[in-house]
Amino acid sequence: MSREADAMKRQPPEATSASAIGQVRTLIEDLVTAHQQTVQQERLRAFREMAGEVAHDFNNTLSGILARAQLLLADVQDPDVRRSLRMIEQVALEGAWVVRRFQDFSRARPARPFQPVDLNQLVTEIATSARSRWTQQLAARGISGEVRAETPPLPPVSGDLAELRQMLTSISLNALDAMPEGGDLTFRTGTENGRVFCEVADTGIGMPDEVRLHIFDPFFTTKREKGKGFGLSGAYAIVDRHGGAIGVESNVGKGTTFTIWLPVAGQAIEPAPAASSRPQTTSAPRPADGAKILVVDDSEEVREVLRELLSRHGHTVVTCPDGESGVVELEKRSFDLAMLDLGLPGMSGLEVAQRLKHRWPATPVALMTGYGDHMGPDDAKSSDVDFVLAKPFSLDQLRSVVEHALSQGSAELVKARQTGSTPGSPG
């Protein structure tokens, strides 16, 4: 008989029963906690997928509004009408900013290759900023508060410095808002089980469970004045993109502690890409007027506004609502430029680009996307895409991409003639 069983046998029945009940209660609490975490993760995953789709659809709408307003501004001279159009343009740009917040939340991949980040240095910077803010807020009211940073030596973490700064700033500002009558804010870093962690603990008002379970949801806020609502949800998305985890413990009236776990930087860090992948056009021949341009987009408004704009510049424009009809056009004739939407129904813009490059290798491809930076530079290069145009785009951005793309195509044609090859033949 084991010592534990023998000890339990010697205990009175009441003690044995209490011990068993305690063990069962602990197991149930662990199961409830694990279930709550799983539910929260699945809910946030669904939120992020929905945010990405909503952002895509809004970007199509905003692209049409912005382009139409700017087209009218080029034609209208009446000051009152121009003033109204400028207001429409500004509202569309503000809407684009809100949509970018959606995209930041929904984005599942990093915008840039990760680099080694000194988390202690970053935490010290955030703590210093929070201390200054805290002092200014409380001094005028005669309230005391303290901000501390406990930063023992750490290995570097792998991440994006700007995003990690944004994440810690959002959490620290949330902590300060939770201490309206003053209190202490403590940053604490360390390592455990091969990962680096950072705790952000406040002595504020705390949160009940019904609030704590929703703090990472987009637009969820306990403030009377509704803010943008992407502070903590954005922080969650950043940690998730870094392959980390974030948890929160809170007691009403005692305070809240956020714990962020991040992976340690590896030995080999992928080098950052060049700031711009656009080709230099100083020596490239200017594109001839009357280029043939294929536009494939499932938004009728986007197709028509691109047709109108490009036609004004003397180009011949063929539009298609989906990838299949776009491929049919590519089988009929060659084009000087193809502008393809990434999120086409059925055959995606990337699939159309691959078909196009197989038949017409020298034809530049500009990928239009309402999914923000889901398409990175490396993805573009490996997917037969020469340019990426994020929606909603301004007329200046559109003109720049079209000019660069047509110049690139002209340069490829000249190069092919000089080498005796024949671009545009099936590969």
**What pLDDT is recorded for position 278?**
38
What DSSP line would sit under 199-236, residue for residue? EEEE-S----HHHHTTTTSTT----SS-----HHHHHH
Residue 303: exposed, middle, or buried by beta-carbon count in 10 A (0-12, 13-18, 19+)? buried
- pLDDT score of 55: 72
Please state which CATH number belongs to domain 115-263.
Answer: 3.30.565.10
Q: What is the pLDDT of residue 196?
A: 95
Show me where the domains of the chain are located: 18-106, 115-263, 292-419
pLDDT of 110: 62
Which pLDDT value is given to residue 289?
Answer: 59
Grouping H, G, I as helix, E, B as strand and the rest as coil, residue 45 is: helix
**Torsional sign, CA 418, 423, 426, 427:** positive
Weakly modelled stretches of the chain, pLDDT under 50: 1, 4, 224-227, 229, 267-288, 414, 416-418, 420-427
Q: What is the assigned CATH class of domain 18-106?
A: mainly alpha
* CATH superfamily name and code, 292-419: Response regulator (3.40.50.2300)
pLDDT at site 293: 94
Measured CA to CA in angstroms, residue 324 lies from 202, 330, 367, 387 at distances of: 57, 10, 16, 21
